[in-house]
Amino acid sequence: MGKYLKGILGPFSGLVGTVVGATWKGISVMRSRSVKSNKPATENQMKQRTAFALMTEFLNPLRDLINIGFQAYQKGLTPYNAAFKVNMEKAITGVYPALAINYPQIVIGKGRLLAPPEFAIATTVAARLDFTWVNNAVTDSTNGTDLLTIVLYNPLKQSHVQAVGVATRSSQSYNMVVPAQWSTDTVHAWVLFVSFDGKVNSDSRYLGDMEIQ
């Protein structure tokens, strides 16, 4: 793919001869026309396609949250593409064709806010998870008004639940109601904090898996 300067007719998009024109991040680019291959995919290609499909299915419902969680990622990628790259590298496990998501390695946010040094989760009431943490807002990189976001994933139901900005760091606890139909299912949980103005966030933190009462 190459950049090109606009000629007398301006930029172009679509297929022209053997090249394809497009705009990417406001830059006019062109690439060679793709050529279909009749060769069967190699095992490595099939592995990549399977991993890509797994990660797409998992991350797509979290796209809006990822746009916040990876807003500070400075490597020429969109927040979603950065998250996809990081998780493809870290969070796929198994041997093809038995690939799976490695949930403890999933990263939903990367940022400079401090995460609480202690975070606990309990299932003491039916269809509810109780979160508690220590308020460590004592430095310039934290604030008691930072807002907690929680992500739950139910592999059996292949479903996420997000609770965005539901409690301040200083509150030190939050009780989250989950779908009643999740009773006896095992879910995975992640948390992160976002500043009150939404401009800065912490790294996400995996809290483990637990069975819903």
Q: Residue holding tokens 């040094």?
A: 117
pLDDT digits (tens, 9 = 90+) for 161-191: 999 999 999 999 999 999 999 999 999 999 9
pLDDT digits (tens, 9 = 90+) for 48-106: 999 999 999 999 999 999 999 999 987 789 999 999 999 999 999 999 999 999 999 99
Residue 189 forms part of a structural domain? yes
Residue 47 forms part of a structural domain? yes
Same domain, residue pair 163 and 140:
yes
pLDDT, greater one: 51 or 124: 51
Cis peptide before 97 (omega within 30 of 0): yes
Q: Provide the domain limits for residue 99.
A: 43-105
pLDDT, greater one: 21 or 40: 40
Same domain, residue pair 100 and 150:
no
The HSE-up count of residue 155 (CA atoms within 13 Å, CB side) is: 12
Same domain, residue pair 136 and 196:
yes
pLDDT, mean of residues 22-49: 75
The total domain count for the chain is: 3
Strand order in the sheet with 205-211: 159-168, 147-154, 186-194, 205-211
Residue 94 forms part of a structural domain? yes
pLDDT at 13: 61
Residue 112 forms part of a structural domain? no
Residue 33 confidence class, pLDDT cut points 50, 70, 90:
low
Same domain, residue pair 47 and 92:
yes
Residue 10 confidence class, pLDDT cut points 50, 70, 90:
low
Same domain, residue pair 189 and 166:
yes
> Which three-class secondary structure string do you get for 83-122?
HHHHHHHHCEEEECCEEEECHHHCCCCCCCECCCCCEEEE
Nearest of 194, 195, 166 to residue 178 by alpha carbon: 166
pLDDT digits (tens, 9 = 90+) for 189-210: 999 999 999 999 999 999 999 9
Same domain, residue pair 88 and 127:
no
Same domain, residue pair 204 and 124:
yes
Nearest of 22, 108, 114, 103 to residue 68 by alpha carbon: 108
Nearest of 126, 127, 144 to residue 135 by alpha carbon: 144
The tokens of 156 are what?
């059996």
Same domain, residue pair 84 and 164:
no
Residue 167 forms part of a structural domain? yes
pLDDT, mean of residues 5-27: 62
pLDDT at 47: 95
Enter the pTM of the model.
0.81
Residue 164 forms part of a structural domain? yes
Residue 37 forms part of a structural domain? no
Give the CATH number of the domain where residue 135 resides.
2.60.40
Residue 142 confidence class, pLDDT cut points 50, 70, 90:
confident
Query: Would you say residue 27 has pLDDT above 90?
Result: no
Alpha-carbon gap, residue 189 to 104, rounded angstroms: 9
